[in-house]
Structure 1
Amino acid sequence: MDFKMHEYTHAVVGKVTPPLRITDKADFNDARRQHDCYLRLLRELNVDVVELDLGGTFPGNVVLEDIAIICHGIALLPKPVASGDEYKLKKIREVLKSLGQTIIDVTDPDAKIVGSDVFFTGREFFVGISETSNEAGASAVAEAFPEFPCTPIKVAKGMKHLKKYITVAGPDILCVGASKDAKELLKRMEREATFSYQTLTVPEDEAANCLYVNGTLIHRAIEEIPESFKVFCEKIDFARRSICFSELSKVSCGLSSCCLLVRKS
């Protein structure tokens, strides 16, 4: 593995600004506090945080993962899905360019792709095929990053985004939930994978979405994932940090959702 794949210099994030959409269940004040802790932790891991006022409402102005797929100095930008995303995309495009990223736009009119369906292990890409991402979208990822294998993986009906169930927990380590659906997803990935990985299985699916940043694993706090927290303590022998993310996780896939991690070129 190229360990630089999980080394980052910058994180692009949105400012938590009201109003809260009526349909959302997250407590706005708690979400803002959790977001502040999240940004503080990234800074402690030597990541420069670029905070953008993206307009709109919470949570759309802080859940950024779907806006761009960033790897190896390239940022793939899907077509905006929601109304109002054009402004958010414009602001993010500008800052990614300033950080030396090469911008590639998804031009295929049939392609559907969102960042939370795209999982990069450090060696290869997997794209969850679902209501939000399709085979043409997976092809766009493969074309943007031709030096890495890219495999589409069918996500079972009713399941959410791929990175809700599986993420990177360390060098060649995949963190996956223990539910039947999550295990089946992992089996499909292992059958199709070009490389082999260690697997860390966590009892609670909501614990599976982690961040591995600059040699440190970030996972959720003990009060939110008590059983999985024990697994992290027992199995991970390198730096770990835990934070509360309960409110933000109600409106996203989890820890990976609220930042775009970049290594400045």
Structure 2
Amino acid sequence: MLQKMRYTHAIVVRIPSKIKFDDKKLAKSIDLVAARKEQEDLNETLREAGVDIIELAPDENVAETFSLFPDDWSIVINGTALLTRPKKQSACRFQEIKGILKDLTWQILETPEQEHGKPVILEGSDVLFTGKEIFVGIRKNGTNLEGALVVGRIFADLPVIPIQINTKHPLKYYVSVAADGVLTTTNEKESVSIRTKMEREAAHRYKVLTLEKEEAVNCISVNNHLIFRTDVGELKFGLLERPTELWGITATELSKIGYPISKFCLLVKKIKSAKSVMS
């Protein structure tokens, strides 16, 4: 049964006045004032879609880019929150996230350091929940097979399908949920490879919206609203049918800090009890 992509809350981290970048050239090219404005516009668009925004204050002491990506820190599906184990775990604000998720979910679990005796790496941007099943991207310097095994064990009531990725980008860079039963991707080489693997392994079938611009693939489907980037010149979103409503945002500076843009918000559907998981 397809679970509609319904959410009640989004956890975000406000962008601080300074950010530590590994790439100094990139750091000089970013307008942080504009990035904060773009983040505010994203948050306001989520509010208009019926989502309550829970903001974490900026961490002016650490201010690593990864400290701004709550979607990488936790996977929340059907009332269960799984705290992840990224490579940059020190940048994750797990205690604050746990405190918030305690009021929104009915159980919070932590990813172990090891699975079957091997180290685990798990990042939320590699985990795509379609409402029917879970795809987990496996890539160098990102989520590994052991991370996918943890997801499969925790969410054992859903099909969990590992997908090998041959580049540095996470799975949500190449595939996204545009509407219930509809995925976005492109005809770029790696995207085609990933799509082929997904179609071969998937337990369900999806409609696919093939976009022209790779930067447009990542979008946020929430409560019959599709939040997508208008600053990349992608026109094919207009092919989506009602009840999906299109809500455009600009993320020119935000995407320089981190991409895909879904990293900037952890979407959660508040669950009062285990009985209300599928309601």
One-letter amino acid matched to 1:160: H
**Contact 1:19 1:58 (8 Å CA) reproduced:** no
* Distance in 2 of aligned mates of 1:82 and 1:3: 32
Q: Gapped runs of 5+ residues in structure 1?
A: none
Match of 2:263 among 250, 257, 264: 257
1:230-255 deviations in Å (ceiling 9; x for gaps): 21113444311010011111232223
Equivalence for 1:34: 38
1:83-131 deviations in Å (ceiling 9; x for gaps): 6335x11111111112234111111421111001111111001111112
Equivalent runs, 1:1-265 vs 2, <5 Å: 1-4=1-4, 6-22=5-21, 23=23, 24=27, 25-53=29-57, 55=59, 56-57=62-63, 59-79=65-85, 81-82=87-88, 84-85=90-91, 88-109=93-114, 110-131=119-140, 132-156=142-166, 158-221=167-230, 224-226=231-233, 228=234, 230-237=235-242, 238-265=244-271
After TM superposition, the score normalised by the length of structure 2 is 0.87
**Contact 1:248 1:254 (8 Å CA) reproduced:** no
Q: Gapped runs of 5+ residues in structure 2?
A: 272-279
Q: Count residues with an aligned counterpart.
A: 258
One-letter amino acid matched to 1:78: T
One-letter amino acid matched to 2:41: C
* Distance in 1 of aligned mates of 2:237 and 2:192: 18
Moved more, 16-25 or 194-203: 16-25
* Distance in 2 of aligned mates of 1:218 and 1:208: 11
One-letter amino acid matched to 1:107: P
| Aligned partner of residue 98 in structure 1, secondary structure | coil
* Distance in 1 of aligned mates of 2:261 and 2:75: 16
**Contact 2:79 2:269 (8 Å CA) reproduced:** yes
| Aligned partner of residue 66 in structure 2, secondary structure | coil
One-letter amino acid matched to 1:12: I
* Distance in 2 of aligned mates of 1:98 and 1:171: 27
1:155-175 deviations in Å (ceiling 9; x for gaps): 01x341110010100010010
**Contact 1:165 1:176 (8 Å CA) reproduced:** yes
Q: Kindly report the root-mean-square deviation, in angstroms, between the aligned alpha carbons of the 2 structures.
A: 1.7
**Contact 1:68 1:115 (8 Å CA) reproduced:** yes
Equivalence for 2:274: none
One-letter amino acid matched to 1:225: V
Change (3 A) 1:93 1:2: same
* Distance in 2 of aligned mates of 1:84 and 1:53: 17
**Contact 2:11 2:53 (8 Å CA) reproduced:** yes
Equivalence for 2:276: none
1:202-261 deviations in Å (ceiling 9; x for gaps): 00111100110001111101xx221x2x21113444311010011111232223111110
Q: Sequence identity of aligned pairs in percent?
A: 33
One-letter amino acid matched to 1:29: V
| Aligned partner of residue 162 in structure 2, secondary structure | strand
* Distance in 2 of aligned mates of 1:45 and 1:151: 30
Q: CA deviation at 1:190?
A: 0.5
**Contact 1:172 1:197 (8 Å CA) reproduced:** yes
| Aligned partner of residue 193 in structure 2, secondary structure | helix
One-letter amino acid matched to 1:233: G
